[in-house]
Structure 1
Amino acid sequence: MAFRSDEDKVAYWKENLSLLVKLLIVWFVVSFGAGILFVDVLNQIQFFGFKLGFWFAQQGAIYVFVALIFVYMAKMNALDRKYGVNEE
Structure 2
Amino acid sequence: MNTKSRAKAYWKENLRYLRVLLIIWFLVSFGAGIIFKDFLNQFYLGGFPLGFWFSQQGSIYVFVILIFIYVRLMNKLDKKYGFDD
Task: Tell me whether the two structures share a fold, i.e. TM-score over 0.5.
Answer: yes
Aligned counterparts of 2:3 and 2:29: Cα–Cα separation in 1: 39
User: Where do 4+ consecutive residues of structure 1 move more than 4 Å?
Assistant: none
Aligned counterparts of 1:44 and 1:57: Cα–Cα separation in 2: 15
Query: Which residue does 1:58 correspond to in 2?
Result: 56
Please state whether the residue corresponding to 1:85 is helix, strand or coil. coil
Q: Number of matched residues?
A: 85
Please state whether the residue corresponding to 1:19 is helix, strand or coil. helix
Aligned counterparts of 1:61 and 1:31: Cα–Cα separation in 2: 5
Task: Tell me how far 1:4 sits from its aligned partner.
Answer: 4.3
Gaps of 5+ in 1: none
Query: Which residue does 1:24 correspond to in 2?
Result: 22
Query: Which residue does 1:14 correspond to in 2?
Result: 12
Question: RMSD between aligned alpha carbons?
Answer: 1.2
Which gives a bigger RCO, structure 1 or 2 (Cα 8 Å, sep 6+)?
Answer: 1
Gaps of 5+ in 2: none
If the length of structure 2 is used for normalisation, what is the TM-score?
A: 0.95
If the length of structure 1 is used for normalisation, what is the TM-score?
A: 0.92
